[in-house]
Amino acid sequence: MNVERFLPTGEAVALLELTQELAEHELAPRVDDFEARGEFPREAIRTLGRAGLLGLPYPEEFGGGGQPYEVYLQVLEVLAGRWLAVAEAVSVHTLSCYPVAAHGSDPQRKRFLRDMLGGELLGAYCLSEPQGGSDAASLTTRAVRDGDDFVVTGTKAWITHAGVADFYNIFCRTGGPGPEGISCLLAQADTAGITPQAREKTMGLRSSPVAQIAFDSARVPGDRLIGDEGGGFRIAMRALDSGRLGIAACAVGLAQAALDYAVAYSRERDQFGQRIIDFQGLGFMLADMATQVSAARALTLHAARLRDAGRRYSIESAKAKLFATDMAMKVTTDAVQVLGGYGYVADHPVERYMREAKVLQIVEGTNQIQRLVISRALARKR
């Protein structure tokens, strides 16, 4: 199904056309092989970086694309429709550039951003911990001042790009308990004392490495402190407002791919002398799937446009992430049902889509956390 898009500029139209071409020719032919081997497609990510797709929402003066978030999210959607692990990599990398771009000093931006946004350096975001995934304010990884450096000790968990990233944003405790004691450090991946652990054996996104990272007295220069000491929690939460929109866009792209495949299959598959799409029970299922995908896209782009206009968008971001990822789980499951037994085998991509959709309900804040964020906003007096 062709998606009717309302893009703000001719440049954005050309950008989406470029993204579609790269997705078709650089990503789609490789996804099955890399997923089967569990290999991270680093060269594919570099290709996207050289095409300008890894810094789209950041200023051109630092090597970014200077694009509004509504355009960046539609790029993610197209990528996710061909290879979710790559779209997630772009989303995580964009999230990882946020602390320096939005809260770094001028010297830090000049020193780091151009290589980050150009895709030569790949980033990771170290917030979650083994005992406190959703409760980020209780993190225990600690950084202690020692001369001009911070010495970091602790363990981070569920880190996308662990072992393949070139830099890590480390959210660590430099002060007392609670969110006010948390700071953000930018560390090179090859820093002594930073050790990625064995990769997790994941249900989906098998070409995307996820692992714990151990920090054993890792020494990070003091000039790698991003923002103020004690300001790390605010940086983390603001970054996640944008990151949730990235995951919502990935969910829309994945669900659109599942819908498109199910529709194409049901047009070709005959049973009882007619196409199965012409059976009302199945046709109505596909109609509901199409409607849900469009609704999720509209909700996600609405939040992005609020962000682009400089208006509050964190609650709308939570709504978009919640709705789009729950939608993707249902649509991909229904796509498997449309194919029947064929949907359950790896000969067709819908079984992979279904496995991949599940993680989108968990990353960047579980959907239970999104409901908590939304419900607390409703409870507040205006």
Confidence at residue 322, expressed as pLDDT on a 0 to 100 scale: 98
Q: CA–CA separation, 348 vs 346, rounded Å?
A: 5
What tens-digit pLDDT sequence spans the chain (382 residues)?
579 999 999 999 999 999 999 999 999 999 999 999 999 999 999 999 999 999 999 999 999 999 999 999 999 999 999 999 999 999 999 999 999 999 999 999 999 999 999 888 999 999 999 987 678 889 999 999 999 999 999 999 999 999 999 999 999 999 999 999 999 999 999 999 999 999 999 999 999 999 999 999 999 999 999 999 999 999 999 999 999 999 999 999 999 999 999 999 999 999 999 999 999 999 999 999 999 999 999 999 999 999 999 999 999 999 999 999 999 999 999 999 999 999 999 999 999 999 999 999 999 999 999 999 999 999 996 6
Confidence at residue 382, expressed as pLDDT on a 0 to 100 scale: 65
Q: CA–CA separation, 325 vs 322, rounded Å?
A: 6
Sorted by sequence, the CB contacts under 8 Å of residue 210 that are 6+ apart come out as 158, 159, 160, 162, 199, 200, 202
Sorted by sequence, the CB contacts under 8 Å of residue 144 that are 6+ apart come out as 150, 151, 153, 174
Is the separation of the CB atoms in 294 and 300 below 8 Å?
no
Q: What is the pLDDT of residues 100-152, one digit of tens each?
A: 999 999 999 999 999 999 888 999 999 999 987 678 889 999 999 999 999 99
Residue 200: DSSP 8-state = P
Is the separation of the CB atoms in 299 and 351 below 8 Å?
no
Q: Catalytic residue numbers?
A: 364
Q: CA–CA separation, 347 vs 266, rounded Å?
A: 16
Is the separation of the CB atoms in 93 and 324 below 8 Å?
no
Give the number of other Cβ atoms within 10 Å of residue 356's Cβ: 30
Torsion of CA 170, 90, 234, 169, to 10 degrees: 10
Output the pTM of the full model.
0.95
Residue 129 vs residues 137, 144, 156, 208, 360: alpha-carbon distances, Å: 11, 18, 4, 19, 18
Q: Choose among 33, 23, 100, 46: nearest CA to 352.
A: 33
Q: CA–CA separation, 15 vs 6, rounded Å?
A: 13
Confidence at residue 134, expressed as pLDDT on a 0 to 100 scale: 75
Give the number of other Cβ atoms within 10 Å of residue 381's Cβ: 3
Write the DSSP string, 11-80. Answer: HHHHHHHHHHHHIIIIITTTHHHHHHHT---HHHHHHHHHTT-SSTTS-GGGT-----HHHHHHHHHHHH
Q: CA–CA separation, 295 vs 29, rounded Å?
A: 30
**Contacts of range 236-241, beta carbons closer than 8 Å, 24 or more positions apart:** 236/127, 236/136, 236/171, 236/182, 236/184, 238/98, 238/102, 239/95, 239/98, 239/99, 239/102, 239/125, 240/95, 240/364, 240/365, 241/307, 241/313, 241/314, 241/317
Question: What are the beta bridge partners of residue 210?
Answer: 160
Q: Which domains does the chain have, with CATH numbers?
A: 10-118 (1.10.540.10), 123-233 (2.40.110.10), 234-379 (1.20.140.10)
Residue 348: DSSP 8-state = S
Sorted by sequence, the CB contacts under 8 Å of residue 193 that are 6+ apart come out as 152, 215, 216, 217, 218, 219
